[in-house]
Amino acid sequence: MERRLAAVLIADVVGYSRMSEVDEEGTRRRFQVDLHELFEPKIAEHHGRLVKTMGDGVLVEFHSVVDALHCAVELQQEKARRNAALPPEQRMVFRIGVNLGDIIVEGDDIHGDGVNIADRMQVLAEPGGIAISGTTYDHVKSKLAIGYQALGERKVKSIAEPIRVYRVVLVPAVEGQTVGARRSRQSLAVLAAAIGITVFLLAGLAWWQPWRPGDDASVATADARPSLVVLPFDNLSDDKEQGYLADGITEDLTTELARIPGLFVISRNAAFTFKDRSSLPSEVSTQLGVRYILEGSLRRAGDEMRINAKLIDSMTNGSMWAERFDGEWSEVFELQDRMVGEIATALKLRLVTSQQAARIAGGTSNLAAYEAYLRGRELELREKAEDWVEAAKYYEQALALDSTFGNAAAALAWMYREAHWTEERSKVFGLSQDEARSKADSYFTQAAKNPSPGYYTLLAGKLNMMQRSDEAIAAAERAIALDASDPSNYESLSMVMIFNGRAADGLGYLDAAARVDPAWSRWRYFLAGLAYFSMDRFEEAVVALEKTAPGSKETSYWDFWSNYPGLMVLISAYGQLDRYADAATARERLKPYLAQAQEPEYTGLMAAVEFPFKNYVDLERVLVGLRKAGVPELPDGFSPKPEDRLDGDEIRALLFGHEIHGRNIRTGEAYRRVTAEDGTTLITVGEWSDQGRSTIEGDMLCSVYPTRWRFCGVISRNPVGTFAQKNEYLFSLQSDRHEFSVVK
């Protein structure tokens, strides 16, 4: 009997027994094809030895643990490529475990704890994924271009001591990193949910990076959990204008089903790409990466209503469950709850939601308010300014009928917040920008009384702009907890992670967003570019930011909010790469967006306002690139002489713990500012007054005020100023200047 140290790889087919029950001969044949055409060549390529096959499993020995893991990664990647070309019922998915340990050799066979632990790792792997032991991790953690998720110590069968376990994460965002080891319990719970999606998606699709040019996003994969899409219900009512009811029920079912533990639900956005299309279940499954498909129809005549629904298993194209629900419109909530419950039963899932729980997240039990909200929702999703005006009327009607309807209040807060950013948009509503801001704040306060996912997403954005990204992360996590099917919730969390200094985590949540909605929007490309930029990966940032297509025609109102900041970062990325001609072209492309935003020119000072990073080092990276690209730090005519400008320490000594008086040079309004030693700031300019917080960022003074967001500026001495005139110093902002003197 010989003992030796070896790397052991064990692979096992997921669901082999079930597949054999359906087609024993075909299943065995497909396993043999994988064995001879995939496993054997890869094992030989990486200098391994195929010890034996064990029914539906494979046992392999390697002299090098790096070779073993490299082989495992390539096996899963190649298997995913092959599965993508097969119908769902013919796909064979493997789990792989790898361990470095002591083995017993008897003839050609091996056994012992080294083999047993590899087998336990295989059991802990995600379908399509890889799990490794702590001894494996210790030897390979810096040797391969992959990431890892630490699962902690696990007690496994037949092994006396707990084993450290890691899952391989084939996500570009965490390449060379280990996630999950040092996080708060709250953030870890949400990360686990997202990584659970992301690990499997990218274990099968590691070769597909949607932010890279020329790739095809139509790939289906299996998931460890049952996965489902709710296709848009057909409107069979005589009144074709009642399509908003069918759309609303589709959206509500998506949200409520996504709350069931153990069920993964594709987003409403992705599902609606199939609206008014005749598609085979296999086509839907392949494009969205789901197994189960819920489809149905709604017919309403007066108060009478009929809902037909059918749950299809794309593996067999057969119906798992079908039901007709007849009732009155007043029973729509009860009918939806029955549907959710029966679907959960069909999928053998434990249902923990109820009508009360499902409605608590900003909902209503008022039918008239619900119907008005659905009308508004249909109009809002058209994304045209004039439709938004009509949508707002329906949302306001819904609130008038139920003042606690948090979803409606959040929708109004969102629309008026967007309206206040530009004069053109606010005019569509017949409001000034200040009036639109006031309405947004009022509805946001009302939405907070019955919080919805939309409210928490708004809150995350508001907190992020105020440089409170730690709190913003908690708000974005809450939005995901309430609606795990909405990609915008993952994108919101990605954004605040990036501004919090956790860009790698931000990229991970973009992959989670891609799982619920595979179509990459311009906004998602912008976030990917910002994350890569924040990781000093400027080439990859450029690829992602150029995918926002800033030179092409805008197809949606939201394109502005991707292209505008996207170009700002792209200019800096070009500067960091010394691509000065490209930077100059991007600066020209930015000018129309500056005009829309009523900004005369792009400056470093403007970038400081637009990008509220928690850590100055992340903002400084942007500013350095802009300087190299030729972007001026201050607006034309605002630049003081170098000898007159104060540095960060001088600004702190001048202002913190003091009171200043002066005036706004442009308007003549009185200017007063009191800054405490801890940065707490009380400011008054004319009739506007607010209390906020000030910090020194580099050689700039930046302040955040709840009613007006964030300002950054530089301070300089006024060579001709006097205390009597209260103009010894100048405070230069992007579009304003104040002169002042210290009075206390």
Supply 77's token pair. Answer: 């990647």
Structural domain includes residue 365: no
| Mean pLDDT in residue range 100-128 | 89
CA distances for 144 relative to 76, 147, 168, 503, 535, angstroms: 15, 8, 11, 21, 19
Residues 240, 307 within the same domain: yes
The total number of structural domains in the chain stands at 4
Measured in residues, the chain has a length of 744
Helix (H) or strand (E) holding 729: strand 729-732
Structural domain includes residue 277: yes
Residues 600, 674 within the same domain: no
pLDDT for the residue 42: 95
Structural domain includes residue 578: yes
Question: Tens digits of per-residue pLDDT, 393-437?
Answer: 999 999 999 999 998 999 999 888 887 776 677 788 888 888 888
CATH number at residue 304: 3.40.50.10610
CATH number at residue 481: 1.25.40.10
Residues 7, 85 within the same domain: yes
Q: What ranges make up the beta strands (E) of 583-724?
A: 658-664, 670-675, 680-685, 688-697, 700-705, 709-717
* Domain C-terminal end among 154, 169, 184: 169
Question: Tens digits of per-residue pLDDT, 487-538?
Answer: 889 999 999 999 999 999 898 888 888 888 888 888 899 999 999 999 999 9
pLDDT at 346 over 50: yes
CA distances for 694 relative to 34, 358, 422, 711, 720, angstroms: 62, 41, 26, 9, 27
Supply 313's token pair. Answer: 């298993």
Say which residue, 216 or 445, is predicted with more confidence: 445
CATH number at residue 111: 3.30.70.1230
Separation of CA 701 from chain center: 31
Confidence class of residue 557 from pLDDT cuts 50, 70 and 90? low
pLDDT for the residue 204: 32
Query: Sign of the CA dihedral 41, 42, 47, 49?
Result: negative
Residues 353, 281 within the same domain: yes
Separation of CA 650 from chain center: 40
Q: For the chain, count helices (H), then strands (E).
A: 28, 23
Of the candidates 443, 523, 513, the residue with the CA atom closest to the CA atom of residue 479: 513
Angle between helices 469-482 and 453-465 (to 10 degrees): 170
* Domain C-terminal end among 169, 195, 216: 169
CATH number at residue 722: 2.40.128
Structural domain includes residue 185: no
Residues 385, 354 within the same domain: no
Q: What is the rounded distance in angstroms from the CA atom of residue 741 to the CA atom of residue 243?
A: 64
Residues 156, 265 within the same domain: no
DSSP assignment of 218-284? ------SS-EEEEPPPEE-SS-GGGHHHHHHHHHHHHHHHTTSTT-EE--HHHHGGGTT----HHHH
Structural domain includes residue 178: no
Structural domain includes residue 65: yes
pLDDT for the residue 520: 84
pLDDT at 571 over 90: yes
Q: What is the rounded distance in angstroms from the CA atom of residue 184 to the CA atom of residue 180?
A: 9
Q: What is the rounded distance in angstroms from the CA atom of residue 330 to the CA atom of residue 153?
A: 52
Residues 435, 513 within the same domain: yes
Confidence class of residue 210 from pLDDT cuts 50, 70 and 90? very low
pLDDT at 86 over 80: no
Q: What is the rounded distance in angstroms from the CA atom of residue 475 to the CA atom of residue 464?
A: 10
Structural domain includes residue 200: no
Taking residue 628's Cβ as centre, other Cβ atoms within 10 Å add up to: 18
φ/ψ (deg, to 5) at 53: -100, 150
Question: Tens digits of per-residue pLDDT, 614-640?
Answer: 999 999 999 999 999 999 999 887 878
Is 168 within 8 Å of 96 (Cβ atoms)? Answer: no
Most confident of 189-193, 265-269, 446-450, 596-600: 446-450
pLDDT for the residue 349: 58
**HEC profile for 657-679?**
CEEEEEEECCCCCEEEEEECCCC
Residues 647, 558 within the same domain: no
Q: What is the dihedral of CA 512, 515, 517, 518, to 10 degrees?
A: 120
Compute the radius of gyration of the chain from its Cα atoms.
Answer: 29
Domain range for residue 735?
642-742
| Mean pLDDT in residue range 442-471 | 90
Residues 354, 422 within the same domain: no
Structural domain includes residue 602: yes
Residues 233, 282 within the same domain: yes
Residues 267, 344 within the same domain: yes
Query: Sign of the CA dihedral 252, 257, 406, 561?
Result: negative
pLDDT for the residue 361: 67
Residues 455, 534 within the same domain: yes
